[in-house]
Amino acid sequence: MSLRELIVERARTRGPLTFAEYMDLALYHPELGYYTGAAQQSGRAGDFFTSVDIGPVFGRLLAVQLAEMWPMVDGAATRFDLVEAGAGNGRLARDILDAAVETPPFYDAIRLHLVERSAAARHAQAAVLAAHLPTIASSGPDLPDMIRGVIYANELLDAFPVHRVTMTHDGLREIHVDADGGHVVERLEQVRTAGLAEYLKDLGVAIPVGSRAEVNLLALQWLRSAARRLERGFLMLIDYGDQAARLYGAAGRQGTLTAYHRHTDATEPADWLDAPGDWDLTSHVDLTSIVACAERHGLQCLGALDQTYFLLGLGAAEIAGSAGDGRAGLTKRLAVKTLLQPGGLGSTLKVLLFGKGVGTPALRGCSQGTRLT
Ligand SMILES: C[S@@+](CC[C@H](N)C(=O)[O-])C[C@H]1O[C@@H](n2cnc3c(N)ncnc32)[C@H](O)[C@@H]1O
């Protein structure tokens, strides 16, 4: 049975699915989901690029931030938990460790925990991280408990299943997914999902009539769990995101949900809704709600900025400047440019930094100030 047939069957027998239920099946169904079958979906041979695909320079820059955080957690203790959530096959962790190895006391303290929902990606981690196997403390689908160190994630929350809503003349409606013949179609329903209307009410935003938006309830649930499990240290999140006023307040917006397949992006559901499992689905994270939720759960926001300014603070310009001549130097400079590009990865990706029990240190990554464009 194909994933489309399975979703059609489920809608027929149990009624329309919320979009979050559809997206969860489309991306994470245990056998047929987009992320389930392959160890890696990004890169030139895949469907989309993440900063990790641009080259090792991204991991090298993150390593600068992590090395600075290490003595701030437990005074350069010999145990430093590095927890990567949504670690995929471990390429970002490898790039970070390849850089960290140049600072032996820091590298020796690292206990790496890889948290990844896809079993295929988890199975590939040992080969990708072959040079760093003694550093791996755990690999599994769930965040570990009692973390003293850093939890970090690149493009995790923007890959979570979201609810979709639209404002009609009769009030707020939730976009569901239903069966029509053998096909998957959208269906507007009354809002029944617990927490959805409250989410928008807490923000104090009114979605204009005719506009659509996404609500990422799972991101807040994940954040609460991360805040609880982090005993002391930092949380660093890098995601496609925007401020709530921009996501929800502007007239005529159709939301940010985007589907990717072989480097083609599509926002019209007609292009991808009927082919679940073939497309990556992602949506911009509401930074305003993330920060408010984190602060309600014991985390202190230390910085919120575009990836451009974060990476500049960590020395991206210096890396480009010292890249040298020749092909290797050019490749490195181009990689830095791609990571910083305004209108591309540099400004669409936002970085949020939080601390717990570490005071309010001035972090290198935040040295350009709070700058969200
Ligand atoms: C867009 S990919 C990013 C992968 C990698 N971080 C990178 O930057 O290339 C999102 C990853 O998060 C994983 N993921 C999604 N939900 C998760 C969850 N709740 N816990 C752990 N991993 C999850 C997916 O399986 C996928 O590997």
| Cα 216 to Cα 256: distance, rounded to the nearest angstrom | 12
Helix (H) / strand (E) containing 362: none
Is 140's pLDDT higher than 80? Answer: yes
The reply to whether 342 falls in a domain is: no
Coil, helix or strand at residue 267: coil
Coil, helix or strand at residue 43: coil
Structural tokens at position 148: 């003293």
Question: Using CA positions, which residue lies closest to atom 12 of ligand 1?
Answer: 86
pLDDT of residue 265: 87
Is 251's pLDDT higher than 80? Answer: no
Cα of 209 vs centre of ligand 1, distance in Å, is 33
| Cα 240 to Cα 286: distance, rounded to the nearest angstrom | 9
In the block, residue with structure tokens 């056998």? 31
Structural tokens at position 323: 């890249």
For ligand 1, say whether the CB of 94 is within 6 Å of any of its atoms. Answer: no
For ligand 1, say whether the CB of 121 is within 6 Å of any of its atoms. Answer: yes
The reply to whether 347 falls in a domain is: no
Cα of 321 vs centre of ligand 1, distance in Å, is 32
CB-count exposure of residue 363 (10 Å: 0-12, 13-18, 19+)? buried
Structural tokens at position 294: 């984190």
Q: How many domains does the chain fold into?
A: 1
CATH code (residue 159)? 3.40.50.12710
Contacts of 290 (CB under 8 A, 6+ apart): 157, 219, 220, 223, 237, 241, 352
The reply to whether 346 falls in a domain is: no
Q: Quick check: 53 and 44 in contact, CB under 8 A?
A: yes
Share of the chain above pLDDT 70, in %: 100
Could you tell me the pTM of the whole model?
A: 0.96
For ligand 1, say whether the CB of 152 is within 6 Å of any of its atoms. Answer: no
Q: Select from 25, 35, 122 the residue to mutate for testing ligand 1; criterion: most ligand atoms less than 8 Å from CB.
A: 35
The reply to whether 314 falls in a domain is: no
For ligand 1, say whether the CB of 34 is within 6 Å of any of its atoms. Answer: no
**Per residue in 172-219, pLDDT tens?**
999 999 999 999 999 999 999 999 999 999 999 889 999 999 999 999
160 CA closest ligand 1 atom index: 16
Cα of 16 vs centre of ligand 1, distance in Å, is 27
Structural tokens at position 301: 């926001």
The reply to whether 340 falls in a domain is: no
Q: Select from 24, 116, 221 the residue to mutate for testing ligand 1; criterion: most ligand atoms less than 8 Å from CB.
A: 116
The reply to whether 371 falls in a domain is: no
The reply to whether 312 falls in a domain is: no
Q: Quick check: 25 and 3 in contact, CB under 8 A?
A: yes
Cα of 85 vs centre of ligand 1, distance in Å, is 7
Q: Select from 117, 217, 285 the residue to mutate for testing ligand 1; criterion: most ligand atoms less than 8 Å from CB.
A: 117
**Per residue in 88-135, pLDDT tens?**
999 999 999 999 999 999 999 999 999 999 999 999 999 999 999 999
| Cα 101 to Cα 107: distance, rounded to the nearest angstrom | 5
The reply to whether 333 falls in a domain is: no
Which range scores top for mean pLDDT: 25-34, 320-329, 363-372? 25-34
What is the residue range of 233's domain? Answer: 3-306+352-366
Is 252's pLDDT higher than 80? Answer: no
Question: Using CA positions, which residue lies closest to atom 19 of ligand 1?
Answer: 117
Cα of 228 vs centre of ligand 1, distance in Å, is 20
Q: What is the average per-residue pLDDT within 274-283? A: 95
Cα of 40 vs centre of ligand 1, distance in Å, is 10
| Cα 217 to Cα 195: distance, rounded to the nearest angstrom | 8
DSSP 149-202: EEEEEES-GGGS--EEEEEETTEEEEEEEEEETTEEEEEEEE--STTHHHHHHH
Question: Using CA positions, which residue lies closest to atom 27 of ligand 1?
Answer: 88
| Cα 88 to Cα 221: distance, rounded to the nearest angstrom | 21
Q: What is the average per-residue pLDDT within 276-287? A: 96
